[in-house]
Chains A and B, each alone.
Chain A
């Protein structure tokens, strides 16, 4: 091969390399845009302000849960209990705010506090009792919390919450739902937390190599307890949004939500092996799921098919990631 041809080849490789980098960084975002473009063509109702705001509102509960879920996943863990923690948080809030008539502030604090407490317990089970994997500790918590959510009112729903409790889930600022504004605030906060604080870096370090993190002087257990506490806290906040939206707390609320939250993280590029993932990827993951649901609804696709489609999207998203990593290894 001549000198020039070699150079050209090198250039091409470089271009391919940057393209690859871009596609890995913006892959989920490109996916979201493509999805929106296709839906805009297929349904004239999709790209309207009203509908998009609806999507934003529908995505907010999962977006908040997914944000909490991202932290355990970054540490190469998992939190299966977030759906149940959502359930127990709002039921106990119902008891305090509605049954005992202690008011909105107490109710909101109780809701968030119960979430935080459950998450903290997850962390303690994992680090102090040394249960072998968070899959187990949070699986236990998932059942315990759901059970208690059912027990507190003998499975009856609670409705008639104070207006202030409903504010987050039900109100709008202009056309924008408050719940989505909350999502944005939380995501920006988490972005700072994960990228610009020592603890944030510790979370990535633990997921990347737990032993190296420990030997570098990171208090791994402390960080893990914090991670699961925050995940629980987010579940409590998501519960608040849910109650606002439906003006009712019911014991089976949030059933299976953990799976959508995990899906959002994974679609957004977080690695199940830990150490890799961003808040923005997770947001896009949550939006992709919400847009899919919304679009399929607009196209009158029955719910059973929607499940199938979302399942395929999860597998496809991760498979693309696998292909990319295999490519990266070959390049090495």
Chain B
């Protein structure tokens, strides 16, 4: 008898299907691994199990009973506990207070005061069941991240969880903490609790998984016993798809080295990153989320301080300690999060497009306002921003058009080196193609273009050369002609 069974689950967002006819069953006492690329639909599937999203179509069975999970409370009542990457603990409260947060044990009437003794006793019992010896009165902020996660898992006992979902639990843990967590999971499994486990670390999956379900582009590809599946097979199932004509790639003559970083080392890291980028070539940086690609870009651009490292633009060393320095050196950084880091949403397109280059539009100390409007209009035409009203607020635009506004901002600085971080995240297919064309145009005009992307097809579709990062280091440097999704995925998961 399976504990949870999903049949033919469909889910879409504003017309775009995210889950296509996914069926899945979870048995009691098994560790069931969900595997898939970023955007394959794992998170959506989990959120349907936990009641955060409701399915569009399909059936859910719990212990062979047809049920609906319409809210997180429903899931909790069934005995489904979820531990997200971001922990939901209150640092200033003690371990036992956190474990019983929202489900406090109370004494009898009339006052129904909190029964601290009982909560402490039970909290201790729960932690012992996890094989842990953590003082229940310790404040959570005094615990390491690994112990905090165990406290989070102990919370699952307060709802008598029969199934625990863990979303990339080891991604922020040290090796020894991760090992401890895996042991705890085996302990839970022995007690008959089902574990749904999401991780990109294939080595880990081999160690603890019973069965593995692989998702790709919102569809289930296969459910396989872990013991009988090789890592290579897993990767092939994850990525196995052909590139279609979504990528308008143009070839250019390879030119001079226009940009080089040597030994960039971030604060709190020992790992160094060095690479060079050439004119006429789009350089892709692939890797899984959290591989340190954004961090390196931020370090290069002077957003975060770096411990050491040198940056060369067109062969000359430039000293960058702040974004101002970076812009002066001819760098542009199109960040991953448009809304939080790229745009001033309640200002006009003109304001946003010119904010990084205002100094070029001054006469004396006064701004040439007509010139600003003029330049904004030019970019609107050139990049086909819609609606094309310079006085429109950036907030009112679609994701794709907002991205064009951010790109216009950097075009106006006359940068020589463009670093794009996830340039097509959250924009529709049509706008993606326009962004790709723009990358081509930049390269044609002699700019250095570096693209960080977590989408492998995109990397393979638009880049000429690909660097792969894993845990803060470059693990591969491949020319497009020699690159395969499998090869990149291997390098991105630690070269297994």
Contact = CB atoms under 8 A, between A and B. Distances in A.
B331 to A, nearest CB: 10
Contacts of A198: 358-359, 362, 365, 367
Given A204-B347, A208-B347, A209-B345, A216 B366 contact: no
Given A205-B355, A211-B341, A212-B341, A217 B347 contact: no
B340 A212 contact: yes
A213 interface: yes
Interface string A212-247: 111111110000000000000000000000000000
B345 A197 contact: no
A310 B155 CA distance: 51
B408 to A, nearest CB: 12
A214 B340 CA distance: 11
Contact of A215 (B333, B351, B358, B367): B333
Contacts of A217: 322-324, 326-328, 356, 413
B342 A212 contact: yes
Contacts of A196: 366-367, 369
A218 B366 contact: no
Contacts of B358: 198, 201-202
Contact of A216 (B323, B328, B340, B346): B323
A197 B366 CA distance: 5
A209 B344 contact: yes
B347 A275 contact: yes
B303 interface: yes
B335 interface: yes
B211 interface: no
B55 interface: no
A96 to B, nearest CB: 32
B409 interface: yes
Given A216-B323, A217-B324, A276 B346 contact: yes
Interface in B317-359: 322-324, 326-328, 333, 335, 340-347, 351, 355-356, 358-359
A208 B327 CA distance: 21
B366 A192 contact: yes
A330 interface: no
B396 interface: yes
Nearest to B372: A201
Given A201-B367, A213-B355, A215-B335, A208 B323 contact: no
Interface residues of A, number: 22
Tell me the interface secondary structure of chain A in the complex.
Answer: helix
A216 B367 contact: no
B360 to A, nearest CB: 10
Tell me if B's interface is mostly helix, strand, loop or mixed. mixed
Nearest to A219: B324
B418 to A, nearest CB: 14
Contact of B303 (A204, A215, A276): A215
Nearest to B364: A197
Contacts of B301: 215
Given A197-B367, A201-B358, A215 B344 contact: no
Contacts of B303: 214-215
B409 A216 contact: yes
**Most chain B CB within a 10 A radius of its CB, from A204, A209, A211:** A209
Nearest to B298: A215
B429 to A, nearest CB: 24
B350 to A, nearest CB: 10
B351 A201 contact: yes
A136 to B, nearest CB: 20
Nearest to A207: B344
Contacts of B355: 201-202, 205, 213, 216, 218
Nearest to B410: A216
B367 to A, nearest CB: 5
Given A198-B367, A201-B367, A216-B355, A208 B333 contact: no
A46 B259 CA distance: 71
A172 B324 CA distance: 48
B344 A214 contact: no
Interface string B154-194: 00000000000000000000000000000000000000000
A306 to B, nearest CB: 35
Contacts of A192: 366
Nearest to A197: B365
Interface in B343-395: 343-347, 351, 355-356, 358-359, 362, 365-367, 369
* Chain A CB within 10 Å, residue with most, of B342, B355, B367: B355
A153 B356 CA distance: 50
A202 B343 CA distance: 13
B376 to A, nearest CB: 13
A201 B409 CA distance: 14
B323 A215 contact: yes
Contacts of B343: 209, 212
Contacts of A211: 340-341
B391 to A, nearest CB: 11
A197 B368 CA distance: 9
Contacts of A219: 322, 324
Contacts of B356: 216-217
A177 B323 CA distance: 47
Contacts of B362: 198
A205 B366 contact: no
Contacts of A201: 351, 355, 358, 367
Given A201-B355, A213-B355, A215-B341, A275 B323 contact: no
The 8 closest A-B pairs by CB, nearest first: A208-B344, A198-B358, A217-B327, A216-B356, A209-B344, A217-B324, A217-B323, A196-B366
25 contacts: A196-B366, A197-B367, A198-B362, A201-B358, A202-B355, A202-B358, A205-B344, A205-B347, A205-B355, A208-B344, A208-B347, A209-B341, A209-B343, A212-B342, A213-B344, A213-B355, A215-B303, A215-B323, A217-B324, A217-B356, A217-B413, A218-B324, A275-B344, A275-B347, A332-B396
